[in-house]
Amino acid sequence: MLPQPIFMGLGCRHIQNALKAGATKEEILEVIQLTIVMAIHSCNLAIPILMEELAKLQD
Tell me the helices (H) and strands (E) count for the chain, helix number first: 2, 0
pTM (predicted TM-score): 0.63
On whether the CB atoms of residues 28 and 18 are closer than 8 A, the answer is yes
What amino acid is encoded at 12 in this protein? C
Give pLDDT tens digits along the chain (59 positions). 445 555 556 668 888 899 999 999 999 999 989 999 999 989 999 999 999 999 999 97
Give 23's DSSP letter. -
pLDDT value at residue 1: 45
